[in-house]
Structure 1
Amino acid sequence: MASTMGVLSSLEKDNLLSSLDLPGLSADLSSSRSVLDEKVTASISQLGSFSLEAIASLENVASERSVVEARIAASTKMGRVAALKRDEMAQVAASLEREKEELEGQLAHLPTAVETLHMAKQAERAEVEQENANVVDEEHKNERKLNALEQAVACYSARLGLKFEHTDAEELVLVFTLVDETNPKREFRAKVKVHPTTGQYELTGCEPDFDDDAKRRMVNELNTTEDFGAFVRSVRRIFKATV
């Protein structure tokens, strides 16, 4: 184009320029530019609207996702709670089953236990009855011994100058007189007691005192023979030997 204009004459140039519709071209250019601007503006507007809708959609999606995630978390938690409750219920059921088995075992052995208890009660009753019989027998024995003491004292009191007294310690005191010829009223005392557990005679004191071996020998003989009269005569002989 530039080379063509270079070879054209001034007249030709003027004719060419005058033939061009410059205002029309300018108007067409302006019109085209306006149309282009409107399209660009519309496109930008559409893009903006699309962007807002896209953002709103993304926000809705995010919100829905949060709700779904919350539901999933709640479901998971409930599932764990349910699993824990199932485990607890299983443990309780197992404990109750064990208790049931123990009770059934106890019930199975109950007749034997009842019979054993019944036999033990019978044996205990028999033992108590035997002990009561022993106590009664021992009481009778002690009563017989006391009667023997009193009878012997009564028998010898007149001839041997013997009388008896009782102490708070349940002792029978033999009081001898007519022992010392120089002083017939002088008293010689011997304390005798029946042991409450063994039922054996005991010589708990003498006034005046005399040999321990002689006392042991007389008491052993009395417990062996239960001849209280012979015991009284032996004590009187020993007292007389001390004068």
Structure 2
Amino acid sequence: MTSLETAAIPPNIAAQLPSVNFGFDELKERMAKFTLSFDDFIEKQRERQETVDNHKTIKKNIEHYEQEEIKIAANTEKEIQETADLESEISTIRSQKATREAENETLNAQIREQSAAITKKRAKLLEEKQALASQANHNQPELAFWEDYLGLRIEGAGRLDHVRFIFTCLDDADPEREFEIVVSVESRDYEIIGARPKLDEAAKARSLEILNDTRSIAKFLKSVREEFRKVGKQP
């Protein structure tokens, strides 16, 4: 019924018409509650989605960090191995250095020992040289007599420390026949290197003992000459 129609109804009749309640207020209240519930639902859905998104992000970050952790662990293991290798190499180098230092010390000790031995030997050789020079001066007149009257000739024997003594006038049947003996003066104790004609070991030992005990060349030559004379008399 329109407002015009209502206005056309007399007041006494309008008062008798039934009152119609369309429930607008209730509907409005229900709509307000629905709106609140819907907004709350939307908010919860949004929060839930954010939570899901956060979980996804967190999961993704966790996976990323797990991969990074694996890489770091691999790098750490590699660095540990490299460090162990370097420490082993350093230990080897130190050991080699210690060995070389010990070898150098041993070598230096040997050098010092050899130097001392050489110095001692030089001093001894100088002493012997001086003694030989003194003996030579003493023996020179007698050696000259041996050379001039007894057919002795002194020569080198191919080495500076070898001396050859050559005798003649020992064989009555052949006065020019040569008898020779070679002596090494390399060490303090002289040695007989060879004799021609051959002398037996006992004869050489007797003459050599005289030489080393007395240091007299003249006495040695006299002994050798007597031994060669025995050989010269043999048929």
| Shared fold (TM-score, shorter chain, > 0.5) | yes
Could you give the per-residue CA deviations for residues 166-219 of structure 1, whole angstroms, max 9, x where no partner exists? Answer: 0222311001011111111111100011133xx111111100011101211221
User: RMSD in angstroms over aligned alpha carbons?
Assistant: 3.7
In 2, distance between residues paired with 1:219 and 1:153? 18
Aligned position for 2:157: 167
- 1:42-83 superposed Cα distances (whole Å, 9 cap, x missing partner): 21111111233345567778999999xx9xxxxxxxxxxxxx
Aligned to 2:210: 221
Q: How does 1:10-21 map to 2 (within 5 A)?
A: none
Letter in 1 for 2:126: E
Q: Does 1:235 align with 2:229?
A: no
- Letter in structure 1 aligned against 2:123: V
| In 1, Cα distance between equivalents of 2:211 and 2:223 | 10
The residue that corresponds to 2:180 in the other structure is 189
What does residue 40 of structure 1 align with?
30
Out of 123, 127, 130, the residue aligned to residue 136 of structure 1 is 123
Structure 1, unmatched stretches of 5+, are: 1-20, 71-123
Is the 1:153–1:164 contact (alpha carbons within 8 Å) kept by the matching residues of 2?
no
Of structures 1 and 2, the one scoring higher in RCO (CA 8 A, sep 6+) is: 2
Runs of 4+ displaced beyond 4 Å: 54-67
Is 1:212 aligned to residue 206 of structure 2? no
Deviations 1:117-159 (A, max 9, x none): xxxxxxx89x94x963652242231353367467354341112
Q: TM-score, normalised by structure 1?
A: 0.54
Q: Note the C-alpha offset of 1:36.
A: 2.6
Following superposition, the deviation at residue 22 of structure 1 comes to 11
1:200 paired residue among 189, 201, 213: 189
Report the CA distance shift for 1:180/1:205 in structure 2 as closer, same or farther (over 3 A). Answer: same
Higher Cα Rg, which structure: 1
CA change 1:205–1:38 in 2 (3 A) is: same
Match of residue 4 from structure 1: none
Name 1:52's counterpart in structure 2.
Answer: 42
CA distance in 2, matches of 1:177, 1:50: 148
Q: State the identity as a percent.
A: 21
AA of the residue aligned to 2:185: V
Aligned length: 160
* Structure-2 separation of matches of 1:131 and 1:155: 38
Answer yes or no: is the 8 Å Cα contact 1:194–1:200 preserved in 2.
yes
Report how far residue 163 of structure 1 moved. Answer: 0.6
Q: CA deviation at 1:223?
A: 0.7
The 3 A distance-change label for structure 1 pair 145 and 177 is same
TM-score (norm 2): 0.55
Separation in 2 of the partners of 1:53 and 1:202?
124
Residue 87 (structure 2) aligns with = none
Residue 184 to residue 50, structure 1, CA distance change in 2 (3 Å): same
CA pair 37-179 structure 1, distance change in 2 beyond 3 A: same
The equivalent of 1:24 in structure 2 is: 18
Q: Mind listing any 5+ residue stretches in structure 2 that lack a counterpart?
A: 1-14, 62-111
Q: What secondary structure does 1:24 align onto?
A: coil
Whether contact under 8 Å (1:201, 1:222) holds in the other structure is: yes
Contact 2:185/2:191 (8 A) holds in 1: yes
Distance 1:164 1:228, change over 3 A: same
Distance in structure 1 (CA, Å) of the matches to 2:227 and 2:135: 22
Q: Distance in 2 between matches of 1:62 and 1:40?
A: 32
Q: 1:166 to 1:185 in 2, by over 3 A?
A: same
